Chain A
Amino acid sequence: QLQLQESGPGLVKPSETLSLTCTVSGGSISSSSYYWGWIRQPPGKGLEWIGSIYYSGSTYYNPSLKSRVTISVDTSKNQFSLRVSSVTAADTAVYYCASLSIAASQTFDYWGQGTLVTVSS
């Protein structure tokens, strides 16, 4: 069973870059059965898909964030990462990483526990 764990700073200053890493265990990030994704949830609000990546490096981003987001993968470390540039208070959210099962209609089947990132000076 896959396990995912987010890591990174919990506080980021406005205009700076948010950086998070997701470490995958219990399976290989190079599996052809999965994409890997980032989803966020502002406090008290709903879920927003940020983007996804395949182990080959192919990426898909939400157009609403595309100009500020970069997702990358490090197969040697079984990790994938998220960078969001020029952050504002609106980027304050719990950030989740998740696996997307290709066989199960690209469903987010395993999730990390989430990490709260606050944008504040």
Chain B
Amino acid sequence: DIQMTQSPSSLSASVGDRVTITCRASQSISSYLNWYQQKPGKAPKLLIYAASSLQSGVPSRFSGSGSGTDFTLTISSLQLEDFATYYCQQSYSTPNTFGQGTKLEIK
């Protein structure tokens, strides 16, 4: 199985901050990397697919980059509604695997 490791596991930030979350795969996954946002009690929501493609309807302050084994999710200017848990997921091979999550909290 391909292991996905996110860092940090938690992060405190303020509204307006620029935030970056990292995801590392245990082997190359090309650009088969997706990012999701999950709020408490809700289903995950797709933000970014194929490493850098913005899902329709997602604000442009979200961006993704990377290929191979190292990927990043960047939020350019945090808004109140962005405080949530973020997961990366590889779709390069089965079993599809997720990172352990990064909880973004208000400072």
Contact = CB atoms under 8 A, between A and B. Distances in A.
A2 to B, nearest CB: 12
Interface in B5-37: 31-32, 34, 36
A106 B53 CA distance: 13
B87 A46 contact: yes
B87 A108 contact: no
Contacts of B44: 47, 96, 108, 111
A114 B95 contact: no
B60 interface: no
Contacts of B101: 46-47
A107 interface: yes
A49 B46 contact: no
A48 B98 contact: yes
A108 B99 CA distance: 15
A105 B87 contact: no
A44 B13 CA distance: 22
Q: Which 6 A-B pairs have the closest CB atoms?
A: A111-B43, A107-B49, A106-B91, A49-B96, A62-B95, A47-B98
